[in-house]
Structure 1
Amino acid sequence: MIEAVDLFCGAGGLTAGLRQAKIDVRAGYDIESACSFAYESNNGAVFVEADISKVDPAEIAGWYQRPGAYRLLAGCAPCQPFSTYNLGRDTTKDDKWPLMGAFADLIKAIRPELVTMENVPDVTKHSIYHDFLKTLANEGYHVAAGPVACVDYGLPQLRRRHVLLASRLGPIALIPPTHLMRPVTVRDAIGNLPPVGSGECHPDDPLHKAPKLNELNMRRIRASTPGGSWKDWPNELITGCHKRSSGRSYPSVYGRMEWNEPSPTMTTLCYGYGNGRFGHPEQDRAITLREAAMLQSFPRDYLFVEPGKPVHFRTVGRMIGNAVPARLGEVIGESFMRHVEEIMGQAEDRTPAAAALPA
């Protein structure tokens, strides 16, 4: 019913979610070759290593092959130019800045019935985003866009994203929140994983691997309580930068997660104890790559590295942190499926009843 191509696909978080919603994702495009194995081995779709700004629209259009199917083009461009981490510096020359414009050009050339993108909420503060909205309006798309608290849809993580859905078929909307009454917690997501120690890897899962903490950080995490901060430590454990007034605005670094709450936002450095509240709730270590992936709602058996190949924290952490959470992808997919079903139902209602045959 819906065929999709996933631009800036990364390791396949959005694709995995769309497939859960019964959308046929044919291919994913990304410039990061490291994502190829993860994308193809988990999703049954083709990975194309390419610079989106240089891809021929006819090539992408060629992936849509099922007669009568609606075409979905997803383009979740890298968020670095729009992140709050970049506020205060000139990002107009960032290599990733033109990518949303390249996505808009592909939409104009291909004119798919359906379009989606997601990014950080601050994307709306930039003129290139509003240029993108003008392109959609000029091409006849109905647009629904706004901030989404992912925890309201069952992601075990306090992640906020800007989600855009667009359709040339008619008005569209994201499905209502599914988990307003009870969020999914850290315990729900990773509580059943076997314990591992600092610097250890579980023998049955190369991704269930924690970086090794040095002696000082071991003392720090032992002094940390779930949901607490470095302010709870003895004075000799507090870093010099945190003692300065400028450092007191970062209370969650070197923190432990809480079992009965969602996790903080997973970043590309979420495996590092000092990079945020990425300490395990009770084990004296940072979270493992597998735990980070599951907090991003990837399935427990999702593969990121070929069997037998070394697992590098930086490479896999980047794939996990940059991914569209699979659950958010599923919500987006369900929204499109519901939209198409409504459009098809309206079309059936408008079909004239067959004239009665003469007796």
Structure 2
Amino acid sequence: MKSAGAQGIQAVDLFCGVGGLTHGLVKAGIGVRAGFDLDPACLYPYEANNPGKFVEADVGATDADKITRFFSDSAVSLLAGCAPCQPFSTYSQSGRSTKRVNDWQLLRHFGRLVNEVQPDLVTMENVPQLAQHSVFSEFLQNLAGYSVSWSVVDAARHGVPQSRKRLVLLASKFGPEYLALPSTSKKIATVRGTIGKLPAIAAGEASDGDNLHVASGLSPLNLKRIRSSIAGGTWRDWPQDLQADCHRRETGATYPSVYGRMEWDKVSPTITTQCFGYGNGRFGHPEQDRAISLREAAMLQTFPRRYKFVPPGDPVKFNVLGRLIGNAVPVRLGQVVGQTLVRHVQELGIGSS
């Protein structure tokens, strides 16, 4: 049996983005050596907050040698990643994959690299809908020889202050024992507990001490609308003269979650790439008359309060940062995955004499 030695688990994170999964794995005690992503905007936040090297590369054009050079023979190897599936994600709209022909190519390349690299451990996070598609069965076929555990989990049950359901897969060459994620966290994290102590700001303003704690501006009409909104409510709470024509039509009844405020003592809705816009979902601040700031979005994704996203002196761009934050794996979910894999290796005595 392979010895983990003093180096423990060493990981490479594919489709790493700004490092949400990487940061969670590191917090769990896993040595993440590198993150691969084709978006150059991810380089600074990835390397400024994590010990691994950022490799700007298209995973579809990456071969095994480019990955295995980050693994030491004495360590347990982990290949990790969230391979975006274009039919269900914003990856294809972000400029990161405009030349893709096959909707499922990214996940297929992940499976190909599992086959070529043959890491000791694999973890994959994705959208729940993936389980109903044949490409998931194809991915599982690449895991012949591995023990596999997967389930659709609600991140809120694992300490993420957000309603976010994801498919999480763990695979190991060491056996099935201790491989499943824990069923739930002891305590649900809330919006209040996560962002409640940040300085108050107005729409269109930024905090003096944190340029990421910045809120998008509101038109005069939307400012009236948010002032008429209650926490947990919808546009139906507004006076009729503030409602849009599309809302008043019968078809508008199917969109109750736009133009809403979050609730302090509940989890937030799923943080998306457009979460900085008040009209894009229930992204209004619980009591301040604005949408949540980029920093608040990042914290609801469980990035640390001081996680660095923009090089000093560079402008903060809502569309870029919203995309990077919304597409990230919540750090806390990555930590739970990492803790599960660390326990799996330790309980099986990998590395013991």
Decide: shared fold, TM above 0.5.
yes
TM-score by length of 1: 0.91
2:234 is aligned with 1:229? yes
| Structure 1 residue aligned with 2:3 | none
The Cα shift of 1:45 comes to 1.1
| Percentage of identical aligned residues | 54
- Please tell me whether residue 44 in structure 1 is matched to residue 84 in structure 2: no
Q: 2:248 aligns with which of 243, 246, 252?
A: 243
Task: Report how far residue 252 of structure 1 moved.
Answer: 1.2
1:340 equivalenced with 2:345 (yes/no): yes
- Of 66, 71, 74, the residue aligned with 1:68 is 74
Pair 1:123-2:135 in alignment: no
**Residue matched to 1:99:** 106
Shift of 1:261: 0.3
**Distance in 2 between residues matched to 1:254 and 1:98, nearest whole Å:** 35
1:315-330 residue pairs with structure 2 within 5 A? 315-330=320-335
Report the CA distance shift for 1:94/1:268 in structure 2 as closer, same or farther (over 3 A).
farther
Counterpart for residue 154 of structure 2: 149
Aligned equivalent of 2:260: 255
Corresponding residue to 2:208 among 185, 195, 203: 203
Matched, 1:31 2:57: no
Partner residue in 1 for 2:96 = none
CA distance in 1 between partners of 2:182 and 2:132 (Å): 25
Question: 1: CA distance between counterparts of 2:128 and 2:297?
Answer: 22
Tell me, yes or no, if structure 1 residue 312 matches structure 2 residue 312: no
Query: Is the CA contact 2:11–2:30 (under 8 Å) kept in the aligned structure 1?
Result: yes
4+ residue segments displaced more than 6 Å: none
Rate the CA distance shift 1:95–1:198 in 2: closer, same or farther, 3 A. farther
In structure 1, C-alpha distance between the alignment counterparts of 2:91 and 2:325, rounded to whole Å: 18
Query: Which residue of 273, 276, 285 maps to 2:278?
Result: 273
Name the counterpart of 1:354. none
- The answer to which of 10-19 and 127-136 deviates more is 127-136
2:95 corresponds to:
none
Distance 1:250 1:279 in 2: 16
Amino acid at match of 1:76: C
* Matching residue within 158, 173, 180 for 1:174: 180
Q: In the aligned structure 1, how far is the partner of 2:27 from the partner of 2:287?
A: 32
Matched letter for residue 224 of structure 2: R
CA contact (8 A) 2:9 2:30 kept: yes
| Number of positions where the alignment pairs a residue of Structure 1 with one of Structure 2 | 338
Of 205-214 and 241-250, more deviation after overlay is shown by: 241-250
Structure 1 residue 248 displacement after superposition? 1.1
Question: What is the SS of the residue equivalent to 1:58?
Answer: helix
Whether 1:13 and 2:20 are equivalent positions in the alignment is yes
Stretches of structure 2 lacking an aligned partner (at least 5 in a row): 1-7, 93-99
Deviations 1:10-67 (A, max 9, x none): 00000000000010000000011111100010002110111101112111011002x4
Deviation at 1:246, TM superposition (A): 1.9
1:174–1:332 CA contact under 8 A, matched in 2: no
The equivalent position to 2:304 in structure 1, one of 275, 299, 303, is: 299
Tell me the alpha carbon deviations over residues 233-278 of structure 1, each in whole angstroms, 9 at most, x when there is no partner. 1111111111222221111100000000000000000000000000
Equivalent residue, structure 1, for 2:169: 164
CA drift of 1:78 comes to 1.2
Determine the C-alpha separation between the residues in 2 that align with 1:307 and 1:246: 46
1:191 aligns with 2:196: yes
**SS of residue matched to 2:35:** strand
Contact 1:78 1:96 in 2 (8 A): no
Instruction: Look up the equivalent residue of 2:77 and give its one-letter code.
Output: R
Is the contact made by 2:234 and 2:257 (CA closer than 8 Å) also made in structure 1? yes
Q: How big is the alpha-carbon RMSD for the aligned residues of Structure 1 and Structure 2? A: 1.7
Q: TM-score, normalised by structure 2?
A: 0.92
Higher deviation after alignment, 99-108 or 236-245: 236-245
Would the aligned equivalents of 1:15 and 1:25 in 2 still touch at CA under 8 Å?
A: yes
- 1:357 maps to none
Mark the structure with the bigger radius of gyration. Answer: 1
Matched to 1:236, the amino acid is D
What's the counterpart of residue 65 of structure 2?
58
CA distance in 2, matches of 1:73, 1:244: 50
Contact 2:85 2:107 in 1 (8 A): no
**Contact map agreement 2:276 2:291 (CA 8 A) in 1:** yes
